[in-house]
Amino acid sequence: MMGRARSKSRQVLCTSISYFYVICLSAIFLVTMLMLTFRFLQMENPLRYSDPVLKSRNKDFEAQATSGAEDIPSLLRKLRDVPDQWDASAAHVWDSENAEYYYGCIKPSKNYSIDPNMEVNGYLLIAASGGLNQQRVGITDSVVVARLLNATLVVPHFDHRSYWKDPSNFSDIFDVDWFIQSVAPDVTVIKELPQTVRKSLPKQVYNLRVPRKVPAWYYSRRIRHLLKRKHVLRLTKFDYRLANELETDLQKLRCRTNYKALRFTKSLQDIGQVLVDRMRAKGRRYIALHLRFESDMLAFSGCYYGGGERERRDLGSIRKRWKSLRLQNPERERRLGKCPLTPEEVGIMLRALGYGNNTYLYVASGDVYNGEASLAPLKALFPNFYTKELLANQTFQWPQANYQTQCQEVGSAFFCQA
């Protein structure tokens, strides 16, 4: 009898312990789910962050975004403590320290050479995508990749289906003959595939998208044999498809292509020179500034600028075009310095560096998000504010409105001429 009693008591104890473990596990699971839900709500709604500084900034930005241009003067009152002058006569404001010690280093080393008897493995087609900066990176990297593959490079084509729907071609922006001549010691470049090659091709050229920022060996080990077999290969979405760090001579080839071979067309250079001359006529010295505050840039960054539901809706719709883009924590991204500066923040930074309100500013950028409401604080800090549109007149022959890349390259040509 006593043995049966002990057995029953053990069973009751085991059952109690089992229930206790189940209750504990359920509680842990519930707490974990609550924490994850809270974290998700933080990422979805940046206004719930506990940072008092960010909350204050959000209130200012939301008031600006929802009230429109009518409340811009009240928004600018907070800038009254920014000094108009900050030792503007000091030489360091305009001088570059140790500039005389800088020198070019793009010439190849003694060990860099091209074997004229080396067999060409095939033809490389490049589809450069993105905006003008991404396209330029794609063109530069295509020359390096062609050398790695020992391929004949066909002048890169631009993606006309991107965000801007820009129909511009390589020859509309860059001097094609100069490009071919400049990279000739490194890579053979042709304007289009030979007729005999085109006739021998199947209906569709073999397309391949390489992972982003792969090392140089990826092309020589994994792509070269494919090029030999297919004879003609097209690399699509070619932007940032090569690692940033390369061996010295390949890095120099990249620089030679970017800073020497890519020369703007004569028409773009002429427009850029006219703009530079007009800017210098207004002020002997000026700052050429490129704002990165366009809608697509903000959408890609995943940052939040206090625009409330309208901003989340506008930028969220643009963000959908990047299917692999992860949802970021806006507050964390800003603290890590990954968020584009607002025009107001750029103005305050320049003023803090020592540039007074009498400084002339040339701003090259696309359509700034939230338009004049975003630019107003920068214009208040620097009244001598100019763009290519303000410097131009009716005699200018501008590219058509839908040729976004050409219009933006006018700004780039301005920087080169300056």
Residue 11 has pLDDT above 70, yes or no: no
Whole-angstrom distance, CA of residue 41 vs CA of residue 335:
19
Q: Which residue has the tokens 């067309």?
A: 265
Q: What's the whole-number mean pLDDT along residues 330-350?
A: 90
Q: Is the pLDDT of residue 16 over 50?
A: yes
Write down the pLDDT at residue 311: 92
Q: Give the pLDDT score at 324.
A: 73
Q: How many helices (H) and strands (E) does the chain have?
A: 18, 9
What gap in Å lies between CA 71 and CA 158, rounded to an integer? 42
Residue 345 in contact with residue 77, Cβ under 8 Å? no
Higher pLDDT, 219 or 14: 219
- Range with top average pLDDT, 108-112, 120-124, 334-338: 120-124
* In contact, 376 and 75? CB cutoff 8 Å: yes
pLDDT of residue 35: 62
Higher pLDDT, 181 or 43: 181
CA distance 306 to 309: 9
The whole-number pLDDT of residue 323 equals 75
Coarse DSSP helix, strand, coil percentages of the chain, rounded to the nearest 5 percent: 55, 10, 35
pLDDT value at residue 43: 44
Beta bridge partners of 174: 264
Q: How confident is the model at residue 27 (pLDDT cuts 50, 70, 90)?
A: low
Highest mean pLDDT among 53-57, 241-245, 289-293, 366-370: 241-245
Distance from first CA to last CA of the chain, Å, rounded? 103
**What architecture is the 123-261 domain classified under in CATH?**
3-Layer(aba) Sandwich (3.40)
What is the pLDDT confidence band of residue 410, given thresholds at 50, 70 and 90?
A: low
pLDDT class of 400 with cuts at 50, 70, 90: low
For range 272-291, the mean pLDDT: 89
The model's pLDDT over 179-220, given as tens digits with 9 standing for 90+, comes to 999 999 999 999 999 999 998 888 889 999 999 999 999 999
Query: What's the pLDDT at 45?
Result: 43
pLDDT at residue 177 in the model = 97
In angstroms, what is the C-alpha Rg of the chain? 29
pLDDT at residue 52 is higher than 50: no
Q: Which residue has the higher pLDDT, 232 or 51?
A: 232
* DSSP symbols for 243-272: -S---HHHHHHHHHIIIII--B-HHHHHHH
> What integer pLDDT is reported at residue 129 of this predicted model?
86
Mean pLDDT of 134-155: 95
362 three-state secondary structure: strand
Token pair of 196 as six digits:
């005999």
- pLDDT of 126 reads 97
Mean pLDDT along residues 95-123: 81
What does the pLDDT read at residue 248? 94
Residue spans in the chain of domains classed CATH 3.40.50.11340: 123-261
Task: Give the 3-state secondary structure of residue 196.
Answer: helix
pLDDT band at 284 (very low <50, low <70, confident <90, very high): confident
68 residue type, one letter: G
Q: Taking a C-beta distance cutoff of 8 angstroms, is the pair 289, 346 a contact?
A: yes
Residue 113 has pLDDT above 90, yes or no: no
Name the residue type at position 200.
Answer: S
* pLDDT of res. 153: 97
Residue 229 has pLDDT above 90, yes or no: yes
Beta bridge partners of 361: 287, 385
What is the pTM for the complete model shown?
Answer: 0.74
What angle (nearest 5°) sits at the alpha carbon of residue 407, between those of residues 402 and 412?
A: 150
Whole-number pLDDT of residue 17: 53
Instruction: Say what the pLDDT of residue 116 is.
Output: 53
Is the pLDDT score of 106 beyond 80? yes
Question: Is 368 strand, coil or helix?
Answer: strand
CA distance 11 to 6: 9
The percent of residues in the chain predicted with pLDDT above 90, rounded, is 42
Higher per-residue pLDDT: 214 or 79: 214
